[in-house]
Structure 1
């Protein structure tokens, strides 16, 4: 690999996290920045791009995939989407069925140029903050299951979040993790970054904890 390993993150507001979209180097203030900080000391360097856009659903990613995501030529591509596919059902009467969500994810990954980058799929989470929102989890469950299936079928690394963040919210209260149930607190973003690093086989300093290089293959020596 002649260039520093290129890590691209694409998703919704959790990934976007107030990035400056006029500045390609802007990482936002959330988990992507924390991961970039951890990767900064990697041998050979690491180039991190944040392509998150607030409000995006899977179909919105698809609309900008060919023009924005595929040309980024990621060595490691992280896709984190799903909570808006759930949310629009309840705030806009615009549902996305789990099967349609899954089909879109598959089209996105099928459209990646060869050689396909190492893939990480982050499982969406939601923490109900009102009693009526507890029923919303039934809708999200279908999206979570779809992410798990797609990760398995495309040899992608799954980053589990929902149970992990739900357990912390039970112990510390929802505001400690995501005050509105969706958008993480600084501590919530730290937990997402930690989960990503663990799933990627890296420690908190970005060092290969499992002997993996950026392509996810065993490193020589």
Structure 2
């Protein structure tokens, strides 16, 4: 027994032990969430826009709570990131620098799925593919591979796929045009992939997003950009949590 507790009565020992435990837990920083067994498991899948720090995830979590969707578990193999102290379930699958084509080619998603077992996947991928001038048809082929892997793991997975936010980095003058072209092809791709058991829902993250004010470098969102991203994800995610698409 801790020497601090020796000599104290049973009630005082229990009280002091509780205080010491709380202090130890607070010193470790934000912990991974523990949800109820029936919680809907949501994987937020993407690149640095999702994960570094991806503070739209915290805003989306708060919107879900405010909307009455408390029985949700954000899942991922990556740990929480600090978003100004805003409480949220920080587990995620936002891998900085990753391409959709790279994730598909390296067969990385199945391990992430096995570790997290999502019911819903919220996917914003393609930015790094465009940045590296990967042809759009190859990006969509990768999307197909990823959705098929999701269904191999869970035949009833619900998938939300972003028409990605605009990008205009200084070292990629053609990126803005390629993003627009990719986004134009995503709805047709999604229609070809959706099924009654596993709907694929397109979420427009592109319209109304201004790289001059909503990104800090032509790619990564500012707080105003994070707010727009969270606001666009919320309605379709709420519908998916309610069992629709």
TM range (shorter): 0.7 to 0.9
Offset, 1:135: 3.1
Q: Partner of 1:216 in structure 2?
A: 243
Offset, 1:137: 2.2
Of 186, 191, 210, 1:152 maps to 191
Q: Partner of 1:114 in structure 2?
A: 154
Q: Which ranges of structure 2 fall in alignment gaps of 5 or more residues?
A: 1-35, 76-91
Offset, 1:127: 3.9
Q: Which has the higher contact order (CA 8 A, sep 6+)?
A: 1
1:74-132 deviations in whole A, cap 9, x for unaligned? Answer: 1111111011111123xxxxxx11111111110111112233311100111224365x8
Listed as ranges, the matches of 1:59-208 within 5 Å are 59-62=101-104, 63=106, 64-89=108-133, 96-112=134-150, 113-128=153-168, 130=170, 133-153=172-192, 154=194, 155-166=199-210, 174=212, 176-200=213-237, 202=238
Change (3 A) 1:6 1:143: same
Give the SS at the match of 1:189.
helix
Offset, 1:162: 1.4
- TM-score normalised by structure 1 residue count: 0.73
Kept after mapping to 2: 8 A contact 1:10/1:79:
yes
Q: Partner of 1:32 in structure 2?
A: 57
RMSD: 2.4
Q: Partner of 1:52 in structure 2?
A: 94
Change (3 A) 1:55 1:73: same
Structure of larger gyration radius: 2
Kept after mapping to 2: 8 A contact 1:12/1:57:
yes
Kept after mapping to 2: 8 A contact 1:124/1:144:
yes
Offset, 1:71: 4.0
Q: Partner of 1:3 in structure 2?
A: 38
Change (3 A) 1:133 1:36: same
Offset, 1:183: 0.2
Range with greater deviation from structure 2 (2-11 or 136-145) = 136-145
CA distance in 1, matches of 2:51, 2:69: 27
CA distance in 2, matches of 1:68, 1:100: 22
